[in-house]
Amino acid sequence: MSQRKTAGQGAAAEVLRISFTLNGVPATLEAPPSERLLDTLRYRLGLPGTKEGCAEGECGACTVLLDGLPVDSCLVPVYQVRGRRVETIEALDPADMAHYHARGTTQCGACTPGVVVTASWIVRHPELLETHSIRDLMAGNLCRCTGYDGIIEGVEDELEERGGTAGPGMHRS
């Protein structure tokens, strides 16, 4: 095939000015309001740590914290973050990764940023473990490599170091 066909083209999408707090720093950008936050972060803001695994809210690879709570950024239209706080994997302190590193929390790494962001939320809120197990809390992050033990144990160790109480999550099963 060598010929190229010509036809009409749709109108340019409207853009919106959006201000929010990104990893602790004020950010302003212009983007189509329905753009996925995931794409905004990856392709517009140069933060490719957040991954796409499914694009439909199943895998959690795209997890970021929105006002401190984990959300699937593939399901968040960017206009929804106006005036809110977004935290991505890039904001987390590498010094906090030691237990995950030691326990084999990561293998291929594709699920890992999402896993670590969710884990960071759990370890900051040990009170969650009074009502949920770590397995319950991590159920939104699919991992195809580890069978999950390396993830669960990494979170357990991190909680323990931070003095988290032994809620039901400390019993694995």
Chain positions contacting ligand FES, by CB under 6 A? 52-55, 57-62, 72, 74, 106-112, 143-146
Instruction: Collapse the DSSP code of 56 into the 3-class scheme (helix H, G, I; strand E, B; otherwise coil) and give the result.
Output: coil
With CB under 8 A as the contact rule, the residue among 100, 122, 156, 164 that binds another protein is 100
88 binds, among ligand FES, another protein, none (CB under 5 to 8 A by kind): another protein
Determine the Cα–Cα distance for residues 121 and 101; give it in Å rounded to an integer: 18
Determine the Cα–Cα distance for residues 53 and 55; give it in Å rounded to an integer: 6
Q: Are strands 85-87 and 63-66 parallel, antiparallel or unpaired?
A: antiparallel
If one asks whether residue 46 binds another protein (CB under 8 A), the answer comes out as yes
If one asks whether residue 97 binds another protein (CB under 8 A), the answer comes out as yes
If one asks whether residue 40 binds another protein (CB under 8 A), the answer comes out as no
Could you tell me where the DSSP H helices lie in the chain?
37-39, 98-103, 112-124, 134-137, 149-161
If one asks whether residue 79 binds another protein (CB under 8 A), the answer comes out as no
If one asks whether residue 136 binds another protein (CB under 8 A), the answer comes out as yes
If one asks whether residue 143 binds another protein (CB under 8 A), the answer comes out as yes
Is the separation of the CB atoms in 84 and 29 below 8 Å? no
If one asks whether residue 61 binds another protein (CB under 8 A), the answer comes out as yes
Which is nearer to another protein, 26 or 95 (by Cβ)? 95
